[in-house]
Each structure stands twice: as C-alpha cells, then as structure tokens.
C-alpha cells in the first residue's frame, strides 16, 4: 500500500480514490461534498471555463494559444485568450511547488510528444522554470509557435 500512496501523491489524488474510485478525488476536499464517481455526473461543469461551480481552493489559470498575426500570412504568435481560463485545484500547485501566478495553460498541437503527451492535451506550464536541465520537457515560443519539447544542452 505504501507504493499506492506514493503514486497517489504524484498524481495529486487520494489513495482511496485511486484504489476504489470512491471518496474525494483530491486531497483537502471534504468527503461529504460528493460521493465518488457520481460527483462529475452531478456537477459536470465544475471545471469548465466560466462555470459558477467551484471548490473553495480552485485557481483560474490563464489560457494561451497560437493565434494568427494581423498580417494574416500564416504566421502566428502565442497570446492569452481573453475570457478563457482553466480551473485547477490549488492542491495541484502545492504538490508541485508551483506558484499559481507563475502558471499558464496551453494546448499541445501535434503528435511530436506522443506517447508521453497526446495531441490536444491541455498543459499547465510553470513559467518560473527558466534554467535548462538536460532531458526535461519545456514549453518554448519559437518563431511565433508554441513548442513542447525535450531540451538538451549541446556541447
């Protein structure tokens, strides 16, 4: 069971929820607030942008995407999408030791990171990490395009 607890900590979920699918999914959410898998059925819009439903410790993270330049020559730049945010639990930020004001979300377009990250996945990005560590995954803006890649220093 100790290994299951470690996996649950890495995924920012409770070990009971991981083992049985019952109880609160995220640590810190009272177990009386919902019962297992029915929570998403009862509150399907709880984590959709613009939803009035939220949990006490939710954080709205700005959403960025590639948008066409005004010149409309097929060139893009990365920009914040107005009035669109992704709602995440603050326990995720605490578990990852990330400041919510340093986080953004963006979609991954393409399959260059498959099977690690699938096409269309929404990623939460810690903008405070700027020092390159060989072999880690980074979000980069390159020539107006958002790139998610493994980065290696070249000697």
What range defines the domain where residue 67 resides? 45-151
Per-residue pLDDT, 34: 41
Name every residue whose Cβ is closer than 8 Å to that of residue 94 and which is 6 or more positions away in sequence. none
What is the pLDDT at residue 50?
Answer: 52
Do 15 and 73 lie in a common domain?
A: no
pLDDT of 144 higher than 60: yes
Mean pLDDT, residues 51-55 taken together: 59
Domain count, the chain: 2
- The owner of tokens 């059925």 is 41
Contact (Cβ atoms closer than 8 angstroms) between residue 107 and residue 123: yes
pLDDT band, residue 39 (cuts 50/70/90): very low
Domain co-membership, 29 together with 88: no
Which tens digit of pLDDT belongs to each residue from 19-38?
888 877 766 554 444 443 33
Q: In the structure, what pLDDT confidence band is assigned to residue 41 with cuts at 50, 70 and 90?
A: very low
Query: Rounded to whole angstroms, how far apart are CA atoms 93 and 109?
Result: 24
- Residue 37 sits in the same domain as residue 61: no
| 8, 93, 29, 105: CA torsion to nearest 10 | -100
Minimum mean pLDDT among 31-35, 46-50, 82-86, 151-155: which range? 31-35
Do 38 and 108 fall into the same domain? no
pLDDT digits (tens, 9 = 90+) for 61-106: 999 998 888 876 778 889 999 989 999 988 889 988 999 999 999 9
**Same domain assignment for residues 88 and 126:** yes
The rounded mean pLDDT for the chain is: 79
Note the residue count of the chain: 155
Reply yes or no on whether the pLDDT at 49 is more than 60: no
What is the predicted pLDDT for the residue at 52?
A: 54
pLDDT on residue 63: 94
Q: Looking at the structure, do residues 25 and 56 belong to the same domain, yes or no? A: no
Q: Does 23 share its domain with 79?
A: no
Whether the model pTM is above 0.75: no
């Amino acid at each position: 069971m100790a290994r299951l607890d470690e996996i649950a900590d890495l995924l920012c979920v409770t070990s009971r929820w991981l083992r049985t699918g019952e109880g609160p999914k995220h640590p810190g959410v009272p177990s009386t607030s919902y019962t297992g898998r029915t929570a998403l059925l009862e509150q399907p819009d709880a984590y959709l942008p613009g939803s009035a439903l939220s949990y006490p410790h939710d954080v709205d993270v700005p959403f960025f995407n590639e948008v066409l330049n005004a010149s409309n020559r097929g060139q893009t730049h990365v920009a914040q999408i107005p009035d669109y945010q992704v709602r995440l639990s603050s326990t995720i930020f605490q578990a990852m030791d990330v400041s919510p004001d340093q986080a953004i979300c963006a979609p991954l377009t393409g399959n260059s990171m498959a099977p690690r990250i699938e096409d269309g996945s929404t990623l939460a990005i810690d903008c405070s990490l700027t020092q390159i560590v060989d072999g880690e995954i980074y979000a980069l803006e390159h020539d107006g395009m958002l790139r998610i890649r493994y980065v290696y220093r070249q000697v």
